[in-house]
Amino acid sequence: MIQGLIGVAVIVIGIAASIALHEAGHLIPAKRFGVKVTQFMIGFGPTIWSRRRGETEYGLKAIPLGGFVRMIGMFPPRPGDDPTMLRASSTGRFSQLADQARKESAEEVAPEDADRVFYKLSPWRKIVIMLGGPVTNLVIASVLIGGVLTLYGRDEVLPRVSEVTTCVPSGTPTLKQLTPACLPTDPSSPAKAAGLQTGDTVVSVDGAPVSTWAQVTAKIRAHTAGPMTLVVDRAGQQVSLTATLATRKAPVFDADGNPVLSNGVLATETVNFLGMAPSVVAVRQPVTAVPGVVWDYLSRTASVVTRIPEKMVGVAQAVFGGAERDPNGPSSVVGVGRAGYEIGSVGLGDSGRGFAATMATLVMLVALLNLALFAFNLIPLLPLDGGQVVGAMWEAVKRGAARLLGRPDPGPVDVAKALPLAYAVSVLLLLMSVLLMYADIVKPISM
């Protein structure tokens, strides 16, 4: 239990630090550009602790599901309105909503702060402020991934036997148990019958030299009828062994090594089976390898983010139907915490890989969370950062076109008009969060 709590603690600290640094990514450029920032908060809901430093209140709130930086003057007044006398006068429901937001925004602005409002910034400064948070998450992820790769290493699978399976499992694999347990009636595995031992390194299969585990598995899968000849290095001596392969149902994996689901159920295929597991060794990587790995992880993360509606349908089918939970689907803070507990319990247990390997796995998990925050916040919808960025870009286009055509400056884009959509997105995000938390409780993803 203690090992699991260590894992949870690492994840909680990592998430809290990531949120704080994300908001600092907004705070620092906002202050640098002269915008008055009244609040810097981690979490939402009731304030449980706060301290004022200068004109800014820094604090923690009760619900640790994000954070915010409050800048004055986020919404501009309507053209022709006096920002100090703004009143809600529109008759339409959505228009009243926008006018109310403008009124509340104007009430935050004291006369002496009239030139320190967000909406008066140039478009490029608005973009810098709003991108500051997501870019900070990208930097955090890059630093963490780089640290793990260069200081600890990247796991590489070697053709050295770490375990010899005792049987040919007759059960059907599932997401929770990719390799079914041995039953008393299951026959001995070909590896055990052939005399393979833990520590043996496979050097050739059917007379063909091999140096990687992928080459070994390819030879096993492609083997036809008849015995298979293996040559292994055992304590410096080459030993020839003969095995008669069996067949079993095995999970189907995609090109990235992730289990494939078919209609919510783990896809399986019948394959040749020898019955040995390789060794996984961490190999330190050069700094030049870091950008490629970050890009690879970011591409996978972006793919998941762009398919959120599809993924959420899968989550609902898993919770309310009989489908398996997609291991590559989205997860809530509850699921991430459970993952940290599981990683800590297994990695730091008696049969685990040890402290360094477990910490590296947990740090990589925090890095992937930061990549997810980066990609998710770039979605071009309010209240996400990407929505404000799109508004600033549209403002730059309008002002640039006005200059080219010799027309008057059209002024800042009225982002308040998009508030109905922002509220709808907020409700949708809340519902998604509730569903994911429920799914992570009743049908969690197993690590």
Provide DSSP, 123-182: HHHHHHHHHHHHHHHHHHHHHHHHHIIIII-EEEEEEEEEEE-SB---SPP-SS-SSPPP
Exposure on the CB side of residue 235, measured as CA atoms within 13 A: 3
Structure tokens at 49: 């602790």
Query: Which residues, at least 6 apart from 348, have a Cβ–Cβ distance to it below 8 Å?
Result: 3, 6, 7, 354, 355, 358
23 in active site: yes
Q: State how far the Cα of 89 lies from the Cα of 98, in Å rounded to an integer.
A: 10
Q: Which of 23, 57, 342, 395 is catalytic?
A: 23
Exposure on the CB side of residue 26, measured as CA atoms within 13 A: 27
Provide DSSP, 320-387: HSSPPPPTTS---HHHHHHHHHHHHHHHTSTTS--HHHHHHHHHHHHHHHHHHHHHHHTSSSTTSHHH
The per-residue b/e assignment along 259-273, b for 16 or more CB within 10 angstroms, e otherwise, is: bebeeeebebeebbb
User: Which region holds residue 200: left if phi is over 0, alpha if psi is between -120 and 50, else beta?
Assistant: beta
User: Any idea which residue has 């055992």 for tokens?
Assistant: 234
Structure tokens at 54: 């200068």
Closest CA to 120 of 131, 133, 105: 105
Closest CA to 14 of 372, 399, 276, 380: 372
User: Which region holds residue 240: left if phi is over 0, alpha if psi is between -120 and 50, else beta?
Assistant: beta
Q: Are 230 and 193 in contact (CB under 8 A)?
A: no
Q: Are 242 and 227 in contact (CB under 8 A)?
A: yes
- Beta-bridge mates of residue 49: 60
The residues that are catalytic are 23
